[in-house]
Structure 1
């Protein structure tokens, strides 16, 4: 593989991953019932609308979930993986089923990482920007609240000390290690195809 191919793979994975993150955030925002009038939410909607609008005509919502954005995320991951394999000098004809499985694993891993890093941001923001009305702070809290709610119901009130993020981190890491990690290992997913593993 030449240096030019390596650079092309780097650019492809960086830009593809960035757009994949935006599409997955669109799914997550709808999943957690976030405020779509938030400026960041509006950016995400505007960035994903050109591809989602025609896809929504074919793929309806299922059980109130924005299935079109989830399918789009998987298709973007699949395309990035296929192009990466082609730039590495492999054909993708015989790998289509494996690529689909790998794309689903990659999107699932990114889904967990979004919540993981949102939790980190939420904890830091609770120390430095508590009660802030900044759009980013509000959005991070809206993403984290549904994840933290079950732990907050179980854990006792410790006088203002919220331990629920610790248990949420543990749960996310266990799912990532035991489910996503094992699925990636069993499917033979090469690490260079998905930067989220």
Structure 2
């Protein structure tokens, strides 16, 4: 792979992954029932609307979930992986295998969003407790549905919330035991693992 291809892969992965994250956040925000009047939510809606609007005509929502945004995320991941393979090895790859790798990639990104949202939430609880910043509110809305069931089973610790520790452990175990084994089991190339 020459320098031009390396630069193209880098740009593709960087810009494509950022937009993919925004599309997946649109799905997650509906999943956690976030406040869509939040300015950050409004940005995400505007950024994803051009691709989602035509897709929604074909793919309806189901049970209050925005299935079109999830399908768009998988299609974007599929496109990113296909272009990465083309630029790196000059081959397109098996479409079914690429679809499986795309679903694995979206699942891994989904887990990473919650992992990093919890890290941000823990840090903000130390430095910006009670803040009404739109970013702080959004991070808390993303984390709360995952932490609430854990808090039900934990005894009261006198104001100390250790539920994020158990959530971190759960996410890491899912990553180690499920996602990493699926990557290895399906033969995902190293160049595609960088996308995840």
Same fold (TM over 0.5): yes
CA distance in 2, matches of 1:34, 1:105: 25
Q: Which residue of 2 aligns with 1:101?
A: 100
| C-alpha deviation, 1:196, in angstroms | 4.9
TM-score (norm 2): 0.98
Kept after mapping to 2: 8 A contact 1:78/1:99:
yes
Report what 1:74 is aligned to.
74
Distance in 2 of aligned mates of 1:114 and 1:88: 27
Distance 1:62 1:182 in 2: 30
Q: Is the 8 A contact 2:13 2:195 kept in 1?
A: no
Shift in alpha-carbon separation, 1:141–1:196, aligned structure 2, 3 A: farther
Query: Which residue pairs with 2:146 in the alignment?
Result: 147
Once residues 65 and 100 of structure 1 are traced to their aligned partners in structure 2, the CA distance between those partners, rounded to angstroms, is: 21
- What SS class does the counterpart of residue 88 from structure 1 fall into? helix
Aligned residues: 196
Q: Which residues of structure 1 form unaligned runs of 5+?
A: none
**Which residue is 2:65 aligned to?**
65
* Structure-1-length-normalised TM-score: 0.97
In the alignment, what sits opposite 1:49?
Answer: 49
Gapped runs of 5+ residues in structure 2?
none
The answer to whether the aligner puts 1:192 opposite 2:191 as a matched pair is yes
By how many angstroms is 1:65 displaced?
Answer: 1.2
Checking the alignment, whether the CA contact within 8 Å between 1:81 and 1:194 is kept in structure 2 is: no
